[in-house]
Amino acid sequence: MSVIGQAIAEVMSFSALFSMFAGTLVGIIAGAIPGFTILMAIILTLPFTFGMDPVVGIATMIGVYVGGFSGGLISGILLGIPGTPSSVCTVFDGHPMSLNGEPGRALSLGVLSSFFGGLIGALICILIAIPIARFGLKFGPWELFSLMLFALTLIASLGSSSMLKGLMGGMMGLLISTIGIDPIGGRLRFTFGFTELATGISFLPIMIGLFAVPQLLKSVKEIQEGKKKMLSGEAIDDIRINNSIHIPWIKTLKELYKYKLNLLRSGAIGALVGALPAAGGSTAVFIAYDQAQKFSKDPDSFGKGNPNGIIAAEAGNSGVAGGSMIPTIALGIPGSNVAAVMLGALMIHGITPGPMLIKNEPVLTYSIFIALIAAHFIMLALLGVGMKGLIRISNAPKYAVVPVVLSLCVAGSFALNNRLFDVWIFVAFGLIGYYLTSVGMPMAPIVLGLVLGPMVENNLRMAMMTNPDPTLFFTRPISLVFIVLTVVSLAFTMYQNYGKNRKKII
Partner 1 sequence: MIKDLILGFGMAIFSIVSLLESRNLVSANKWDVFGPDGFPKIVAYILLALSIILIVSSLRKVNPAKNKFSLTKLEVVVLLSIIAYVLLLPVIGFLIATALFILSIQLLLTYNLKKTMISMVITSLVVTGSVYIVFEKFLNVNLP
**Which residues make up the interface to partner 1 (CB under 8 A)?**
47-48, 50-51, 164-165, 167-168, 171-172, 174-175, 178, 182, 184-185, 187, 189-190, 192, 217, 220-221, 223-224, 226-227, 230, 397-400, 402-404, 406-408, 410-411, 414-415, 418, 420, 423-424, 427, 430-431, 434-436, 438-441, 456-457, 460-461, 464-465, 468, 503, 505-506
3-class SS at 359?
helix
Minimum gap (Å) between residue 199 Cβ and partner 1 = 15
Dist CA 236 CA 441 (whole Å): 31
CB closer to partner 1, 377 vs 421: 421
3-class SS at 454?
helix
Please give the full DSSP string across 47-107, using - where no structure is assigned.
HHHTTS-HHHHHHHHHHHHHHHHHHHHHHHHHHS--SSGGGHHHHHHHHHHHHTT-HHHHH
CB closer to partner 1, 33 vs 315: 33
Dist CA 412 CA 6 (whole Å): 31
CB closer to partner 1, 179 vs 311: 179
Asked if 445 and 173 count as a contact pair (C-beta separation under 8 A), the reply is yes
CB closer to partner 1, 125 vs 158: 158
CB closer to partner 1, 249 vs 399: 399
Backbone angles phi, psi at 181, to 5 degrees: -85, 130
Minimum gap (Å) between residue 191 Cβ and partner 1 = 10
CB closer to partner 1, 287 vs 423: 423
CB closer to partner 1, 185 vs 477: 185
Minimum gap (Å) between residue 336 Cβ and partner 1 = 24
Minimum gap (Å) between residue 249 Cβ and partner 1 = 32
Dist CA 364 CA 18 (whole Å): 18
Asked if 318 and 310 count as a contact pair (C-beta separation under 8 A), the reply is no
State which H helix or E strand residue 188 sits in.
strand 188-189
Minimum gap (Å) between residue 149 Cβ and partner 1 = 11
Minimum gap (Å) between residue 286 Cβ and partner 1 = 27
Dist CA 106 CA 99 (whole Å): 10
Residue 470's identity, in one-letter code, is P
Minimum gap (Å) between residue 384 Cβ and partner 1 = 26
Asked if 199 and 186 count as a contact pair (C-beta separation under 8 A), the reply is no
CA-wise closest residue to 337 among 45, 42, 66, 71: 42
Minimum gap (Å) between residue 64 Cβ and partner 1 = 15
Minimum gap (Å) between residue 3 Cβ and partner 1 = 30
CA-wise closest residue to 288 among 261, 259, 268: 268
CB closer to partner 1, 261 vs 505: 505
Which residues, including other chains, have CB under 8 Å from residue 235's CB and lie 6 or more apart? 229
CB closer to partner 1, 50 vs 377: 50
Minimum gap (Å) between residue 505 Cβ and partner 1 = 7
CA-wise closest residue to 42 among 399, 412, 446: 412
Dist CA 318 CA 270 (whole Å): 7
CB closer to partner 1, 100 vs 407: 407
CB closer to partner 1, 369 vs 429: 429
How far is CA 77 from each of CA 158, 165, 465, rounded to the nearest angstrom?
A: 30, 35, 57
Minimum gap (Å) between residue 212 Cβ and partner 1 = 11
Asked if 245 and 103 count as a contact pair (C-beta separation under 8 A), the reply is yes
Dist CA 58 CA 371 (whole Å): 8
